[in-house]
Amino acid sequence: MYKYDVWTFNDSVPGPFIRARVGDIIELNLTNRDETGNPHNIDCHAFEGPGGGAALTTADLNQTKTARFRLLYPGLFVYHCAAAPVPVHIANGMYGLIYVQPEYDTLSSVDKEFYIMQSEFYHEPPEKLENGKLSDKVKFSYPRALDETANVVVFNGKESALSRDAPLKASTGDRIRIYFGNAGPNLISSFHIIGGIFEKLYRDGDVVSPPGRFVQTTIVPPGGATIVDMKMLVPGTYTILDHAIFRLDKCLVGYLNVSGKARPDIYASIEPPAPCVGCKLHP
C-alpha cells in the first residue's frame, strides 16, 4: 500500500484514549502545530452544547485554545476535529475515543483492554515522478470521498496496525475488553471477531443499559462506538474484521493471538487444522 500524510491529535491515529468520570470537568487545551496553516478544533460527542466544543476550540497555527466541559453522561464517545471542511479533517486521521465512566463504574474488571478505531482512506492515484516512476505516496481525493468509494479501510490508521507482526495478545482464561470506535467518515462497520463471541456487548457505547449477551456481530456507525467483552478459552489466532468482508481486500483485518493450553473439550478435530494457503482470515 501507499504512504499518506495523516493529520493527528498528539501525533497518533487514533488520538489519545481519554478516561474520565461523570461529573468531571474536562479542561481542554488545544494547540495547533499544523505548519500547513489549517485551523483545527475538537468536537467531542461527550460534551453537551452546540458543536460539542468545536467553535470554542478552533485554533490557528501556534494558537492555543482552552475550554471547559462538564461531563454529564456516561458512555464511550468519539471525538474528532470539526474544522472546515470537517469530513476532510476526519478522513485524514483527526479522531479518538473518550470513555466517561458512571459515578460507580458498571464495567466489570478485565485482564486486558484494547483500543481500536476503524476508518477509511480516499486517495488520488500516485503521481508520476520526474524519474518516470510512480510516487509511493498518495494524497486525499475529495471526489472519491464524496462517492464513498474508499481505497483503503483500516484499523488504527494504517494497514499494519494489528497485523500478524503486531497482533493484540492475550492468554487463555483472560477476559478481554475492546473499546471500538468508527471514525468513518462514511462506512458503517459490522464489527466481528472470527472464532469469538461477544460475551457482553455494550451497544453504542451505552454502559447504563444491561449489555447484550453472546452476540456475533455488531453495527457501529461513523461517529459511534461500542464496547465488547470476550472470555478467551481456546488458544490460537482470532481475526478481527468488519463482516462487510470484501473490505478485507482493502486492508481491513487485524489479529488477536491467544496463547495457552489447548481445550479439546471445547474445540477438537481428529485431523490437525489445515487452513487454506494464503488465507488472510485463518492464518
Residues near Cu ion (CB under 5 A) are 40, 81, 83, 89, 94
Q: Which is nearer to Cu ion, 58 or 118 (CB)?
A: 58
Q: Which is nearer to Cu ion, 55 or 215 (CB)?
A: 55
Minimum CB separation of residue 31 from Cu ion in Å reads 13
Minimum CB separation of residue 272 from Cu ion in Å reads 51
Minimum CB separation of residue 121 from Cu ion in Å reads 16
Q: Which residue has the cell 488477536?
A: 256
- Residue 44, phi then psi, degrees to nearest 5: -110, 125
Q: Read off the amino acid at residue 86.
A: V
Q: Which is nearer to Cu ion, 32 or 239 (CB)?
A: 32
Sign of the CA dihedral running 263, 268, 272, 278: negative
Distance CA 222, CA 150 (A): 14
Minimum CB separation of residue 116 from Cu ion in Å reads 22
Q: Which is nearer to Cu ion, 71 or 81 (CB)?
A: 81
The H-or-E segment that residue 3 falls in is none
Closest residue to Cu ion using C-beta atoms: 81
Q: Which is nearer to Cu ion, 123 or 250 (CB)?
A: 123
Distance CA 37, CA 24 (A): 33
Q: Are 15 and 9 in contact (CB under 8 A)?
A: yes
Minimum CB separation of residue 45 from Cu ion in Å reads 16
- CA within 13 Å, CB half, 208: 7
Minimum CB separation of residue 40 from Cu ion in Å reads 3
Q: Which is nearer to Cu ion, 42 or 241 (CB)?
A: 42
How many helices (H) does the chain have, and how many strands (E)? Answer: 3, 17
Residues 6+ apart with CB under 8 A from 262: 234, 235
